Chains A and B, each alone.
Chain A
């Protein structure tokens, strides 16, 4: 009797693992197949019907990305710059504001906090038209800092919310003890508070990075000079084809370049990502 039960358990375990593994194959196949295709010799990457594993590994498809517009390097530089500026800007502004909203009282505090949070409800898609005019007027259209300023603004509600909550968890006694010990308010923030709110900073940073790195619509609108495109916009022009035909190998090389940083960052910091997801952040 006992033996038959354990047999049933074993079989159901095996079946479950079979389901888990098949699902993993379905979820990961598109990505891994794209990565594999990107290192195939161009003729194999464009073969009809598609072939299996590459006969040899080459970087030719990656090199061909340079033939588009101002070259892959330029677009990578644009995307990396905008993402780094967005992450740094979001972290600095959110941390300062989170500290201010958590620890100080000042006139209109409630109204200002609500104003920042309320922008969570309004999709950025619906203010693109006037934003375009403002950026043009400020001569920030087609500039990397201009796009970063817009991205930072979109990341702020979540960032400020996360940081205010993080600062709220720091016990007041800790702060008072540090002040009594003669700690200045600047070094209080820097030495005492920052290490404690670091998880919040990482959370806000990951979201800012992923959103800036992956963003498509705003970059499409604000960057209409070819040399100022971000990487996702370059990919879109690879897909429309250089000489009328799509270079499938180059497209997969581009897709690989654009998805790997996101995946690596997620794998390294997934704990914080999930925390942010469940911390009332949720705005995909």
Chain B
């Protein structure tokens, strides 16, 4: 590094003085390299972020001039029953979808961590739905679950779990159940790989020592794997919660927020206000509330990641 920086021009007296006040050529080069990325982030992330705060204090229609209303949008928000319903539903969905994803992912990770021939192939097979878009996967499930042309009901009938036919997306409880099944199918591989990576980072010597002491598989699982995997488990849970809290595609596509607006999530409600009713100031206020919640979760995630990497 030093040999590169101490170019003859910079070691001259004049150059040294100038370097104290103005960036050197090398410093300028560094700035030049990062400038495009910085510009993009400023223009399409930081400015919108500041605008969100500014807009949230205004009545901001699509056409016509915005007018300052101070905390008006936040007062509306406090009294907005659909917002609270959506928040409640989003939390409920998150609480319902996280345990099955986690438990299944954990079992799958244990399975694909076994030293068995061909296990890599199965690992890949279970992971494949992860790379499909949530939009495409939701449409796939709309068809799978369709009561007339979809294979799901037919299969259930064949194994005698269902008589007649069931319109899964037609009522709240079955729709929520169906969406959870589809999301678990699509995302469980992600958590599986996360947990698998964590498991493989545990030194084999610890297991070998425990086996010498006569520990059973379950004993090793309980006293070695679980405790050492704690940071990874926490990370997996936080990521799953963040993902579920931002849910939109699956509800927009599979239920259109219905029946009776019961499956409208927070992001869905922001979408409706900003882009269907064009109450953009109110949409911004809702966005800030969502952002606050997720920043806290993400800080938790970063802390866990940090610990994960150093471990």
Contact = CB atoms under 8 A, between A and B. Distances in A.
A and B together in one complex: yes
A97 B33 contact: yes
Interface stretch (A55-63, A68-76, A195-203, A251-259): A251-259
Interface in A84-102: 92-94, 96-97, 99-101
Nearest to B42: A115
B48 A127 contact: yes
B41 interface: yes
Given A112-B38, A232-B136, A235-B136, A131 B44 contact: yes
The DSSP consensus for interface residues of chain B is helix
Interface string B201-245: 000000000000000000000000000000000010001001100
Interface of B: 1, 3-4, 23, 26-34, 36-38, 40-49, 51-52, 55, 108, 111, 114, 116, 119, 122, 124-129, 131-137, 139-144, 146, 148-151, 154, 185, 187, 189-190, 193-194, 197, 235, 239, 242-243, 246, 248-249, 252-253, 267, 270-271, 274-275, 280, 283-284, 287-288, 290-291, 294-295, 298-299, 301-302, 305, 308-309
A164 B26 CA distance: 18
Q: 5 nearest interchain CB pairs?
A: A104-B30, A214-B133, A100-B33, A130-B51, A97-B37
Given A49-B154, A122-B295, A127-B45, 20 more contacts: A30-B185, A49-B148, A97-B33, A97-B36, A115-B38, A123-B291, A126-B290, A127-B49, A128-B287, A129-B55, A129-B270, A130-B49, A130-B284, A134-B43, A134-B51, A156-B40, A160-B37, A217-B252, A259-B140, A277-B193
Nearest to B129: A27
B225 to A, nearest CB: 17
B89 to A, nearest CB: 16
A239 B131 contact: no
A142 to B, nearest CB: 14
10 contacts: A24-B122, A27-B126, A30-B141, A37-B143, A48-B149, A97-B33, A100-B32, A127-B287, A129-B283, A277-B193
A262 B29 contact: no
Most chain-A Cβ atoms within 10 A of its Cβ — which of B124, B132, B271, B288?
A: B132
Most buried by A among B43, B116, B136, B243: B136
Contacts of B141: 30
A6 interface: no
Contact of B37 (A20, A96, A107, A149): A96
A157 to B, nearest CB: 8
A239 B253 contact: yes
Contact of B132 (A33, A109, A214, A274): A214
A163 to B, nearest CB: 10
A216 interface: yes
Given A149-B44, A221-B275, A23 B139 contact: no
A160 B267 CA distance: 27
Nearest to A151: B44
A126 B287 contact: yes
A157 B252 CA distance: 28
Given A129-B283, A235-B139, A263-B128, A282 B40 contact: no
Contacts of A265: 131
B135 A263 contact: no
Contacts of B143: 34, 37, 248, 251-252, 255
A185 interface: yes
A127 B48 CA distance: 6
Given A106-B28, A109-B30, A214 B136 contact: yes
Interface in A134-175: 134, 149-150, 152-153, 156-157, 160, 172, 175
B132 A259 contact: yes
Contacts of B185: 27, 30
Contacts of A150: 44
B23 to A, nearest CB: 6
Contacts of B29: 100, 104, 185
Nearest to A236: B253
